[in-house]
Amino acid sequence: QVTLKESGPVLVKPTETLTLTCTVSGFSLSNARMGVSWIRQPPGKALEWLAHIFSNDEKSYSTSLKSRLTISKDTSKSQVVLTMTNMDPVDTATYYCARIRSYYDSSGYYVRLFDYWGQGTLVTVSS
Amino acid sequence: SSELTQDPAVSVALGQTVRITCQGDSLRSYYASWYQQKPGQAPVLVIYGKNNRPSGIPDRFSGSSSGNTASLTITGAQAEDEADYYCNSRDSSGNLWVFGGGTKLTVL
């Protein structure tokens, strides 16, 4: 059974650094066909992709937030950590981690998708 | 372009068929995935790849694609299908991801 669970502070002050941890089970972060992504959703708004990391340590970041984000993993602990610096009230959102699954379909296309999501954790930025 | 465009809201009569669309240049190169999100819950994958449903997703959900447009079709919409639906794909570079703005589906 695949599960992902986000943990971290519920409240951070403006200018502080947010550190979120995603603890996974049911799959290994060393699996070449799997990765983990962070995605956020401000209240009442759309989903926004933030970052991803794969078993080979391939990382990518949202262009608009790249300067503020760092993603890392500890395979032995089955954890993926996201840090976001210089938090602002506009960063108030529910933060989700999601598993990325990769495969080649019958037509030879390389498909990647978010197949399992954590429950999300609401982070409020306020002084 | 790295954007995916969805209609903000769509409605359908109970038992009828509804199509939710998603437009973007990246869809010419990459499949869209579709997620259902009910209030207070995490998104749930409903369609991925060419037209695949995860285990547990009813077969009234289907997906298709043509050019720069991906579509999610619900054939015989049920009351429990009322939710927000988001499309997602990799961006044109293939290295990043993008989500559509979401479509709020109302079942009348």
Q: What is the pLDDT of residues B89-107, one digit of tens each?
A: 999 888 899 999 999 999 9
Q: Look up tokens 């589906």; give the residue.
A: B105
Q: What is the DSSP letter of A100?
A: E
pLDDT at A9 over 70: yes
pLDDT at A61 over 50: yes
Residue A118, chain B, CB below 8 Å: the answer is yes
Binned at pLDDT 50, 70 and 90, residue B77 comes out as: very high
Residue A57, chain B, CB below 8 Å: the answer is no
Looking at CA atoms only, how far is residue A7 from chain B in angstroms?
15
Q: Are strands A34-41 and A48-54 parallel, antiparallel or unpaired?
A: antiparallel
Residue A122, chain B, CB below 8 Å: the answer is no
Between CA B79 and CA B77 the distance in angstroms is: 7
Query: What b/e sequence results for A42-74 when a residue is b if at least 16 CB atoms lie within 10 Å of its CB, and e otherwise?
Result: eeeebbbbbbbbbbeeebbbbeebeebbebebe
The candidate with the shortest Cα–Cα distance to A105, out of B35, B34, B41, B51, is: B51
Question: Using the beta-carbon criterion (under 8 Å), do A114 and B50 form an inter-chain contact?
Answer: no
The candidate with the shortest Cα–Cα distance to A97, out of A51, A46, A42, is: A51
Residue A114, chain B, CB below 8 Å: the answer is yes
pLDDT at B1 over 70: no
The candidate with the shortest Cα–Cα distance to A117, out of A91, A100, A92, A98, is: A98
Residue A113, chain B, CB below 8 Å: the answer is yes
Do the beta carbons of residue B27 and residue B89 sit within 8 Å? yes
CA of A109: which chain B residue's CA is closest? B30
Looking at CA atoms only, how far is residue A39 from chain B in angstroms?
10
* Residue to test with chain B: of A1, A47, A96, most B Cβ within 10 A: A47
Which tens digits make up the pLDDT trace of A65-99? 999 999 999 999 999 999 999 999 999 999 999 99
Looking at CA atoms only, how far is residue B86 from chain A in angstroms?
8
Half-sphere exposure for B13 (CA within 13 Å, toward CB): 1
Mean pLDDT within B3-16: 96
- pLDDT, residue A58, reads 93
Contacts of A6 in chain B (CB under 8 A): none
pLDDT at B51 over 70: yes
Mean pLDDT within B67-90: 97
Between CA B104 and CA B10 the distance in angstroms is: 6
Q: Which amino acid is at B68?
A: N
Question: Using the beta-carbon criterion (under 8 Å), do B45 and A113 form an inter-chain contact?
Answer: yes
Looking at CA atoms only, how far is residue B24 from chain A in angstroms?
16
* % of chain B residues with pLDDT over 90: 94
Mean pLDDT within A14-38: 96
Binned at pLDDT 50, 70 and 90, residue A106 comes out as: confident
Between CA B4 and CA B21 the distance in angstroms is: 10
Between CA B78 and CA A4 the distance in angstroms is: 29
Residue A54, chain B, CB below 8 Å: the answer is no
